[in-house]
Structure 1
Amino acid sequence: MAGGHHNLRHDPAIERWYQMREDIYKNFRFTPYATRRVLIWGLAVPALTLYLLHDQAFKWDLRGKKHGETLKRVQN
């Protein structure tokens, strides 16, 4: 119908890349560069996101607003 079933040619460079990606955890080391990236993406970004969410948590009221009413929550 569509030809032979074993016509795929494997590129050795791509196969090495796949193998390296599968075994990356075996060769990982905490270098200064890797440590910096882990601290930024693993701690600083979530902490900043949590801070921003906590800061804005009770400032806005989106329920039951009519045209022309402010979305900012009124503090009594």
Structure 2
Amino acid sequence: DPAIERWNDMRETAFYRWRWTPRYARQAVIGLIVVPAAIFYVSATNDWDFVGKRKGQPLARGAAPEASE
């Protein structure tokens, strides 16, 4: 089928025709700078301690208030 051959040729050679556009630049900045920076910020500002925790113990370093029964 000629349509399948054209589609396959387009798919295999798309990187030859690719150009930076404002849309691709915006996606690159968001995906390569903003998202990792946000993940780093969230992980750096939270006071979590994963070392030596057992089941049922909170990840926060401060003492958690006891739940009243």
Q: TM-score, normalised by structure 2?
A: 0.61
| Contact 2:53–2:59, Cα closer than 8 Å, also in 1 | no
Runs of 4+ aligned residues of structure 1 deviating over 6 Å after TM superposition are none
Which residue pairs with 1:26 in the alignment? 16
CA gap of 1:46–1:16, structure 2 versus 1, over 3 A, is: farther
When the two chains are superposed, the root-mean-square deviation of aligned CA atoms in Å is: 2.5
Q: Which has the higher helix share?
A: 2
What amino acid sits opposite 2:42 in the alignment?
Answer: L
- Where structure 1 has 5 or more consecutive residues not aligned to the other structure, the ranges are 1-10
Q: How does 1:1-76 map to 2 (within 5 A)?
A: 11-56=1-46, 59-62=47-50, 63-65=52-54, 67=56, 70-74=58-62
| Contact 1:60–1:71, Cα closer than 8 Å, also in 2 | yes
- Where structure 2 has 5 or more consecutive residues not aligned to the other structure, the ranges are 64-69
| Contact 2:48–2:59, Cα closer than 8 Å, also in 1 | yes
Task: Count the aligned residue pairs.
Answer: 62
